[in-house]
Amino acid sequence: MFADIEGFAAWSSIREPSQVFTLLETLYSAFDDVASRRGIFKVETVGDCYVAVCGLPDPRRDHAVVMCRFARDCVEEHILAVNQLEDTLGPGTGDLRIRVGLHSGPVTAGVLRGERSRFQLFGDTVNTAARMESSGEGNRIHLSDLTARFIQEAGHDRWVERRESVVKLKGKGTLQTFWLVNAKRQQSEDRGKCSKPRSFARRAPGSTKSLQEARDSRKQRLISFNAKSLLRVIKLIAARRDRTERPTTGPQWKAQGTNPLEEVVAVIELPKKSKIGPRQDPATIDIDPDIECLVHEYVSFLADMYADNPFHNFEHASHVTMSVTKLLSRIVSPSDMDFIDDAEASAQLHDHT
């Protein structure tokens, strides 16, 4: 099995490295737990690609069936994770989809000895599985003809459906492939209530109300994301205000309780030969629950002011928030450094602003 996140490159390009790490760690941890339960062997992860195999190192006759169940679980875990992470990792996270490709056959497997030895797979079966993934679709499980045949021979004919069009794979030519029917549809079929075939990515037929509820849920996740971004800034401000040592030169920060507008300056001067003690860790700052509520209400109020305009809406504004947050994180606070003179201060700050 090869599983790859669709749209990951564009998504990660506007995120902090820590956010990218959070997404991959969350997904891979969930996949690892499922692999442990299903008896699947995780081969490796390469960037946003997860590679696993069934039938190695211990052979098993039902490898194709078990791998299909594992793939279904991975898609479900992915959908659940990206929706839950959207209010933390920002807009667009819930739109990430996972492509999964399965192929069955013989492989060359073993541990390549060296400085960092690891178990690896080689052969045409591995290459074909990778091709199945790259030619698949988001939140769907793409099966080769051979894997589909193994599933049918195991008595699970209703698990597979023929792909509408043939696919052309590099080095393989034109092939007829199959989709793995999603678990919810399979349950419906088993109850004798089969509906029109659909994939994980397609929403089940529902009322306008259910569609509106989905939009409202997405809006609430975006509100939560923006509120958390503002609360992190508030913690940074509180940590700066709570320092016992103040700069003798440079910007003089107002004490807590003054008008915040008085802290706004047109030009921020670099400090001159000032030594300031370390500020309090912002993560240790406790925000009053009333403040958190006010921030959430404030963001909600702003969200309600946006019209559903395709090129300027609340989701677009949330993307701007995310970009600004990333930009500001690149700016190193001069008060966190000890400078000898203005020249050194400018030199150290130049690469970070």
Q: CA dist 10 to 5, 7, 39, 318, Å?
A: 11, 6, 33, 16
Q: Which of 180, 205, 230 is the last residue of a domain?
A: 205
Please tell me the distance from the alpha carbon of residue 59 to that of residue 260, in angstroms, as a whole number.
67
User: For the segment 66-116, what is each residue's pLDDT rounded down to a tens digit?
Assistant: 999 999 999 999 999 998 898 888 888 988 999 999 999 999 999 988 888
83/189 same-domain check: yes
192/264 same-domain check: no
Please tell me the distance from the alpha carbon of residue 176 to that of residue 307, in angstroms, as a whole number.
45
Instruction: Give percent of the chain with pLDDT exceeding 90.
Output: 42
229/192 same-domain check: no
Count of structural domains, the chain: 2
User: For the segment 317-346, what is each residue's pLDDT rounded down to a tens digit?
Assistant: 888 888 887 777 666 554 555 544 555 555
Highest mean pLDDT: which range of 193-197, 311-315, 336-340: 311-315
pLDDT-derived band at 218 (thresholds 50, 70, 90) equals: confident
Alpha helices in 242-305 (DSSP H): 289-305
Please tell me the distance from the alpha carbon of residue 106 to that of residue 281, in angstroms, as a whole number.
54
H and E: helices and strands count for the chain: 10, 11
179/220 same-domain check: no
215/195 same-domain check: no
Residues in the chain: 353
Please tell me the distance from the alpha carbon of residue 128 to that of residue 101, in angstroms, as a whole number.
9
37/100 same-domain check: yes
3-state secondary structure of 102: strand
184/216 same-domain check: no
pLDDT of residue 173: 84
Model confidence at 210: pLDDT above 80: no
255/282 same-domain check: yes
pLDDT of residue 50: 96
Q: CA dist 158 to 3, 73, 129, 144, 151, Å?
A: 23, 18, 22, 16, 9
Partner residues linked to 178 by β-bridges: 143, 162
78/158 same-domain check: yes
Domain coverage including residue 333:
209-350
Choose the weakest-confidence range: 163-177, 190-204, 250-264. 190-204
217/89 same-domain check: no
Mean pLDDT of 193-222: 57
Q: Which of 136, 170, 205 is the last residue of a domain?
A: 205
Cβ-Cβ contacts under 8 Å for 168 (sequence gap 6 or more): 174, 175
Phi-psi region for residue 256, left (φ > 0), alpha (ψ -120 to 50) or beta? beta
122/155 same-domain check: yes
Please tell me the distance from the alpha carbon of residue 234 to that of residue 317, in angstroms, as a whole number.
20
pLDDT of residue 148: 95
Q: What H or E segment, with its residue span, contains residue 178?
A: strand 178-180
Model confidence at 15: pLDDT above 70: yes
Mean pLDDT of 28-35: 95
Q: Which of 205, 237, 264 is the last residue of a domain?
A: 205
Please tell me the distance from the alpha carbon of residue 137 to that of residue 165, in angstroms, as a whole number.
13
Spatial strand order of the sheet with 160-162 comes to: 41-46, 49-53, 2-6, 97-102, 140-143, 178-180, 160-162
Cβ-Cβ contacts under 8 Å for 285 (sequence gap 6 or more): 235, 238, 239, 242
Model confidence at 33: pLDDT above 60: yes
Mean pLDDT of 40-44: 93
Cβ-Cβ contacts under 8 Å for 8 (sequence gap 6 or more): 47, 48, 96
Please state the separation of Cα 155 from the chain's center in Å.
Answer: 36
User: For the segment 142-169, what is each residue's pLDDT rounded down to a tens digit?
Assistant: 999 999 999 999 999 999 999 998 888 8
Q: Domain with 141 in it: what CATH number?
A: 3.30.70.1230
172/253 same-domain check: no
